[in-house]
């Protein structure tokens, strides 16, 4: 490990002067040693507790900031080194280092051979040279020859040591371990399941697979050419396979040929039963905005009459016969006004004056009615006579015959409950019918006809009655839903599930392409289904050599694929190099892994792939 040495201020000054006058490099001529554990700082000019200065030194730079120095002392001196300093030829202390622990201990019988690796933080190592001898033994680096330690086999296998040299034995151990970890195929690990594209494929001989010359039939697997779009649309070729592109073109043509209802051709005149309401076009129905109160009343009168259920046939929910029994309705027997001998038809008013019962005939005040308690107020034989003021033979100045004409006195002919029928009541009611009459027969559930003319307010929403208007909720006719693009689909029961009103059983079955229904694509590739079979394919681009890559399917599978294949696409032919794709492991339900296996080639490849699985 390199020691970070501190360059003194005197050393920096000497370095600056040498740079100025062109006398670089500076020469380190001596190394002073001391047993004292100093704290090196730039201001020091001497090494504290220095034992001696050694002149037999050699050194060289190992990189721009590092140097290796070797110090030898063959004398019989004995001392301990905790600090050392580097001196220039003029005696200037150039740099120094110190630590608490002993760096080396010399005895009188030993030779000091101190190797020091130094790292300078503030100067360039190339600006220095070391002594005038040549016995330096620096550590070997990638750019400097030097002394190395041999690595053990374990260190060679680990492959992390950057300073030790590998022996042939260690190299063999490391190479063997590397081959085993990378799964390199050889005689000892060949066989089924190895993944090697050798003489076998998944443990099977070539004879177990279909040859390129074997044609695929309905009875045997084999190689098949791809059908063109025109052949797919014709539906007559029986020995070629359909591509996703060909299927899509055929399906598009099929949709156009059979006029399948969809969002693009739905609407008036389409013939779709979803365009009708109870089998009728919109013109069959009246527009609510054009229907007036008079129209409503006219319709109501056509069903008027007893038992019609029309509330206009009722008064407060009761038939006219209910009101013909006037006594029952009043709850008491009224006094009949007029009708007696000599009685007129005048109106009689009876009321309380505050102290007496008072009567009035028409506009004439008849005064108070006298009862037993105030009989003295009544004229009689004792008070009758001239000057009594008693109008005896008359009533309000009228003879009794005047009051016999009750109808004349009443001013109207009263009803005869015995002969007045419900029809009479209805006739009277109709004669005063009309807005503002106050007659409940002019109302429906207590509301005027104009209340019901505002159909939108009564419904609580605006009904759609023209193209372009939107229904806020689901519609139903006779309890069954109205079908549209939002709830159409398999099992909907929509007449759009029929062709010209006929079920599928009325037509002959089409070729295979007519049963291929769901299909789609995204950034990962293309997929389509044939019954319970799903096929997915795509292209994985730009896979680097010797690097695995993950292929993610367009849609995840319910079951692992039973068929999978990966091809190789290269940009140009190279006769001296090979690149090919390999599927690694077993493909999963969402993705599979492939690798660019190369030989004498560094080019990337594109991998076309295909899988098949059961849903």
pLDDT single digits (tens) 523-554: 999 999 998 899 999 999 888 887 789 999 99
Please state the length of the chain: 615
If DSSP codes are grouped into helix, strand and coil, which group holds residue 298?
Answer: helix
Q: What is the pLDDT of residue 515?
A: 47
Nearest residue to 586 via CA among 554, 614, 608, 611: 611
Per DSSP, which regions of 290-384 are E strands? 348-352, 357-361, 364-368
The Cα–Cα gap between 244 and 256 comes to 18
The Cα–Cα gap between 304 and 423 comes to 12
Residue scoring higher pLDDT (41 or 318): 41
Domain spanning 518-614 has what CATH number? 2.60.40.3940
Out of 301-315, 342-356, 563-577, pick the least confident.
301-315
From residue 308, alpha-carbon distances to 303, 311, 313, 449, 507 in Å are: 6, 9, 8, 18, 52
Q: Is the peptide bond before 565 cis (omega within 30 degrees of 0)?
A: no
- Stretch 128-132: mean pLDDT, rounded? 64
Categorize the per-residue pLDDT at 516 as very low, low, confident or very high, splitting at 50, 70 and 90.
Answer: very low
As given in the structure block, the two tokens for residue 183 are 């799964």
DSSP-assigned beta bridge partners for residue 580:
597
Out of 12-26, 65-79, 105-119, 317-331, pick the least confident.
317-331
Categorize the per-residue pLDDT at 36 as very low, low, confident or very high, splitting at 50, 70 and 90.
Answer: very high
CB 251 within 8 A of CB 260: no
Q: Return the domain boundaries, the chain.
A: 3-146, 150-182, 338-413, 518-614
From residue 15, alpha-carbon distances to 42, 316, 479 in Å are: 14, 124, 104
Categorize the per-residue pLDDT at 509 as very low, low, confident or very high, splitting at 50, 70 and 90.
Answer: low
What angle is formed at CA 27 by the lines to CA 23 and CA 31, rounded to 5 degrees?
160
CB 591 within 8 A of CB 553: yes
Q: What is the pLDDT of residue 512?
A: 45
From residue 527, alpha-carbon distances to 19, 472, 537, 549, 609 in Å are: 75, 36, 7, 21, 12
pTM for the whole structure: 0.28
What is the per-residue pLDDT across 133-169, written as a single tens digit (0 to 9) for each? Answer: 444 455 667 766 666 778 898 888 888 888 788 888 8
CB 117 within 8 A of CB 9: no
Report whether pLDDT(91) > 90. Answer: yes
Report whether pLDDT(289) > 50. Answer: yes
Report whether pLDDT(260) > 80. Answer: no
15-21: Cβ within 8 A, 24+ apart: 15/123, 15/127, 18/127, 19/127
CB 473 within 8 A of CB 482: no
CB 128 within 8 A of CB 25: yes
Q: 25-29, 300-304, 481-485 — which one is most confidently predicted on average? A: 25-29
Contacts of 501 (CB under 8 A, 6+ apart): 273, 495
Burial 90-106, CB ≥16 within 10 A → b, else e:
eeebbbbbbeeeebbeb
The Cα–Cα gap between 73 and 68 comes to 17
Q: What is the pLDDT of residue 414?
A: 79
From residue 41, alpha-carbon distances to 95, 124, 135, 448, 578 in Å are: 9, 19, 30, 111, 64
Nearest residue to 227 via CA among 212, 252, 249: 249
Residue scoring higher pLDDT (82 or 197): 82
Contacts of 272 (CB under 8 A, 6+ apart): 261, 266, 495, 496
Estimate the share of the chain in helix, then strand, then coil, as percent rounded to the nearest 5. 25, 25, 50
Categorize the per-residue pLDDT at 196 as very low, low, confident or very high, splitting at 50, 70 and 90.
Answer: low
The Cα–Cα gap between 215 and 470 comes to 57
- Cα 74 to its chain centre, rounded Å, is 83
CB 313 within 8 A of CB 304: yes
How is residue 424 annotated by DSSP?
H
DSSP-assigned beta bridge partners for residue 81:
104
Burial 596-607, CB ≥16 within 10 A → b, else e:
bbbeebeebbbb
- Consecutive H or E run containing 173: helix 168-182
Residue scoring higher pLDDT (513 or 439): 439
As given in the structure block, the two tokens for residue 498 are 């029929």
Burial 217-231, CB ≥16 within 10 A → b, else e:
eeeeeeeeeebebeb
- Stretch 273-296: mean pLDDT, rounded? 75
What is the per-residue pLDDT across 205-239, written as a single tens digit (0 to 9) for each? Answer: 766 776 666 677 777 777 778 889 888 888 888 88
Report percent pLDDT > 70 for the chain: 74
The Cα–Cα gap between 34 and 53 comes to 9
- Stretch 50-60: mean pLDDT, rounded? 89
Mean pLDDT of the chain: 79
The Cα–Cα gap between 1 and 193 comes to 49
Categorize the per-residue pLDDT at 382 as very low, low, confident or very high, splitting at 50, 70 and 90.
Answer: low
If DSSP codes are grouped into helix, strand and coil, which group holds residue 367?
Answer: strand
Report whether pLDDT(195) > 70. Answer: no
- Stretch 270-283: mean pLDDT, rounded? 70
């Amino acid at each position: 490990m390199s020691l970070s040495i501190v360059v003194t201020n005197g050393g920096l000054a000497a370095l600056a002067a040498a740079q100025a006058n062109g006398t670089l490099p500076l020469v380190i001529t001596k190394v002073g040693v001391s047993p004292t554990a100093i704290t090196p700082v730039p201001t020091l000019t001497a090494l504290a507790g220095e034992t001696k200065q050694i002149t037999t030194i050699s050194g060289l730079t190992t990189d721009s900031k590092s140097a290796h120095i070797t110090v030898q002392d063959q004398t019989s001196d004995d001392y301990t080194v905790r600090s050392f300093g580097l001196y220039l030829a003029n005696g200037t202390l150039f740099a120094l280092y110190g630590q608490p622990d002993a760096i080396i201990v010399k005895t009188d019988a030993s030779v000091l051979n101190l190797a020091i690796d130094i790292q300078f933080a503030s100067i360039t190592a190339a600006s220095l040279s070391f002594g005038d001898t040549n016995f330096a033994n620096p550590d070997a680096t990638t750019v400097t020859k030097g002394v190395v330690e041999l690595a053990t086999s374990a260190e060679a296998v680990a492959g992390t040591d950057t300073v030790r040299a590998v022996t042939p034995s260690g190299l063999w151990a490391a190479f063997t371990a590397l081959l085993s970890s990378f799964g390199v195929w050889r005689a000892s690990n060949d066989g089924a399941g190895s993944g090697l594209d050798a003489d076998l494929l998944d443990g099977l001989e070539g004879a177990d697979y279909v040859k390129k010359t074997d044609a695929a039939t309905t009875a045997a697997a084999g190689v098949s050419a791809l059908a063109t779009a025109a052949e797919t649309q014709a539906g007559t070729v029986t020995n070629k396979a359909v591509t996703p592109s060909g299927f899509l073109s055929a399906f598009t043509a099929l949709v156009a040929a059979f006029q399948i209802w969809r969002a693009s051709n739905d609407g008036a005149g389409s013939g779709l039963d979803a365009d009708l309401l109870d089998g009728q076009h919109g013109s069959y129905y009246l527009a609510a905005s054009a229907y007036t109160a008079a129209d409503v009343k006219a319709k109501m009168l056509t069903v008027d009459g007893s038992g019609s259920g029309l509330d206009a046939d009722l008064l407060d929910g009761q038939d006219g016969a209910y009101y013909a029994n006037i006594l029952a309705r009043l709850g008491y027997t009224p006094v009949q006004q007029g009708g007696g001998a000599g009685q007129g038809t005048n109106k009689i008013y009876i009321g309380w004056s505050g102290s007496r019962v008072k009567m009035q005939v028409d506009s004439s005040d008849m005064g108070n009615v006298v009862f037993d308690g105030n009989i003295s107020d009544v004229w009689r034989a004792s008070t009758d006579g001239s000057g009594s003021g008693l109008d005896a033979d008359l009533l309000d100045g009228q003879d009794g015959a005047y009051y016999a004409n009750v109808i004349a006195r009443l001013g109207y002919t009263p009803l005869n409950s015995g002969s007045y029928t419900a029809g009479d009541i209805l006739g009277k009611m109709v004669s005063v019918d009309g807005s503002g009459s106050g007659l409940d027969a002019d109302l429906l559930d207590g509301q005027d006809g104009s209340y019901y003319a505002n159909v939108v307010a009564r419904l609580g929403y605006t009904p759609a009655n023209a193209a372009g208007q939107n229904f806020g909720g689901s519609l139903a006719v006779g309890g069954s839903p109205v079908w549209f693009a939002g709830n159409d689909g398999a099992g909907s029961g929509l007449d759009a599930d029929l062709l010209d009103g006929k079920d599928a059983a009325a037509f002959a079955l089409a070729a295979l392409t007519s049963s291929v229904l769901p299909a789609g694509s995204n950034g990962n590739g293309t997929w389509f289904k044939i019954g319970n079979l799903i096929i997915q394919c795509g292209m994985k681009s730009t896979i680097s050599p010797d690097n695995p890559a993950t292929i993610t399917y367009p849609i995840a599978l319910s079951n692992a694929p039973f068929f999978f294949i990966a091809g190789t696409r290269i940009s140009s032919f190279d006769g001296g190099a090979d690149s090919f794709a390999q599927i690694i492991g077993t493909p999963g339900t969402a993705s599979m892994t492939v690798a660019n296996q190369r030989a004498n080639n560094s080019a990337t490849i594109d991998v076309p792939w295909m899988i098949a699985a059961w849903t």
